[in-house]
């Protein structure tokens, strides 16, 4: 459904999608006219009223990344990514992904977009147009808790260590709270995946505990909408400290000897 522009979205952070990228119904389908976020939330009976934003923004821009909805054309890069054993060191427990496994994962990613109107993005480096990885909101169907949408990241090795997972992950968290209307976002990884846990921290998620899952120990993190909003307000608050020109704000009362 095409509704009014989302006034609450941060200007410059999230850009309106081009018409062809807006929600237009199921992929290859008939153009269903309901807001996918509303149906997602209703189907889980977590909220009674959902504000629908729109036009349904699906593409997000950060300083260095364009985060766009997943496409079937992403399969080639995704296969290259998930058949790299260094990348999947903390993702697969025993058997590496086969190209067939990756194709199924890509299909499931597309299905999420179709079903929920959001899902993992393909991350593209703005400066070069290069395909960086998969970042963003991902519904974990098998997650044992009630809040099944995680923020996640898998990047080609060439892009590691530059803060890109954090940049994209933060955009995912913002998108989940401001656009989709989620109440809580989780993230889970093998407990030994220190880099990913650090990204969770830097995205504002807090450690919740460990679980035995799929033959390994999983550490999981979460952030609630209220805590995220409080963090945004603190970050946006004008500085109240003293300044060297002595204008405004509290002044130092230190007496010089
Ligand atoms: C995890 C991953 C997404 C991180 O991407 P990235 O763009 O390098 O992440 P960032 O640069 O935003 O942040 C990484 C942080 O982890 C830290 N880090 C990296 N490797 C680390 C390690 N082995 N031990 C401790 N900290 C580590 C970095 O120093 C950085 O923290 P800092 O900013 O405080 O210095 C990337 O390594 C990856 O794609 N890994 C393979 C896929 C994967 O495991 N995904 C997670 C599945 S749940």
Contact 35, 24 (CB under 8 A): no
Q: Which atom of ligand 1 is nearest to the CA of 153?
A: 3
Q: Going by C-beta distance under 8 Å and a sequence separation of 6 or more, which residues neighbour residue 227?
A: 204
Q: Which atom of ligand 1 is nearest to the CA of 160?
A: 8
Q: How far is CA 75 from CA 78, 131, 134, in A?
A: 5, 11, 11
Q: d(Cα 2, Cα 53) in Å, to the nearest integer?
A: 9
Right CATH for 59-231 from 3.90.1720.10, 3.90.1150.10, 3.30.360.10, 3.40.630.30:
3.40.630.30
Pocket test for ligand 1, best of 198, 202, 205, 217 (most atoms within 8 A of CB): 198
pLDDT in single tens digits along all 257 residues of the chain: 222 222 222 222 222 333 333 333 333 333 334 455 555 555 554 433 333 334 467 899 999 999 999 999 999 999 999 999 999 999 999 889 999 999 999 999 999 998 999 999 999 999 999 999 999 999 999 999 999 999 999 999 999 999 999 999 999 999 999 999 999 999 999 999 999 999 999 999 999 999 999 899 999 999 999 999 999 988 877 655 544 454 444 333 333 32
Contact 96, 88 (CB under 8 A): yes
Q: Whose CA is nearest to atom 26 of ligand 1?
A: 195
Q: Whose CA is nearest to atom 44 of ligand 1?
A: 90
Q: How far is the CA of 196 from the centre of ligand 1 (A)?
A: 5
pTM for the full predicted model: 0.79
Q: Whose CA is nearest to atom 42 of ligand 1?
A: 154
Contact 62, 167 (CB under 8 A): yes
Ligand 1 lining (C-beta closer than 6 Å): 87, 90-91, 152-155, 160-166, 189, 193-196, 198-199
H helices of 90-161, in order, are 99-116
Q: What angle do CA 41, 42, 46 make, to 5 degrees?
A: 65
Q: d(Cα 185, Cα 146) in Å, to the nearest integer?
A: 11
Q: d(Cα 177, Cα 233) in Å, to the nearest integer?
A: 14
The number of angstroms, rounded, from the C-alpha of 114 to the middle of its chain's C-alpha atoms is 17
What pLDDT sits at residue 167? 98
């Amino acid at each position: 459904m095409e509704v009014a522009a989302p006034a609450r979205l941060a200007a410059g952070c999230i850009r309106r999608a081009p018409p062809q990228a807006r929600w237009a119904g199921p992929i290859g389908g008939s153009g269903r006219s309901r807001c996918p976020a509303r149906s997602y939330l209703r189907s889980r009976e977590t909220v009674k009223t959902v504000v629908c934003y729109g036009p349904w923004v699906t593409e997000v821009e950060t300083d260095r990344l364009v985060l766009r909805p997943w496409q079937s054309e992403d399969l080639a890069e995704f296969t290259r990514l998930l058949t790299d054993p260094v990348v999947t060191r903390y993702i697969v427990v025993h058997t590496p992904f086969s190209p067939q496994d990756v194709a199924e994962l890509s299909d499931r990613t597309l299905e999420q977009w179709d079903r929920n109107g959001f899902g993992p993005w393909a991350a593209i480096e703005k400066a070069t147009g290069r395909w960086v990885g998969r970042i963003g909101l991902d519904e974990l169907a098998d997650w044992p808790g009630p809040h099944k949408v995680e923020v996640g990241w898998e990047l080609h090795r060439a892009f590691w260590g530059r803060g890109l997972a954090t940049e994209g992950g933060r955009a995912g968290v913002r998108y989940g709270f401001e656009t989709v209307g989620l109440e809580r976002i989780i993230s889970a990884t093998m407990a030994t995946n220190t880099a990913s846990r650090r990204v969770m921290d830097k995205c504002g998620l807090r450690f919740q505990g460990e679980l035995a899952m799929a033959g390994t120990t999983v550490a999981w993190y979460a952030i609630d909408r209220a805590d995220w909003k409080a963090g945004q307000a603190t970050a946006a608050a004008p500085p109240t400290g003293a300044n060297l020109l002595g204008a405004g704000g509290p002044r130092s009362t230190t007496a010089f000897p």
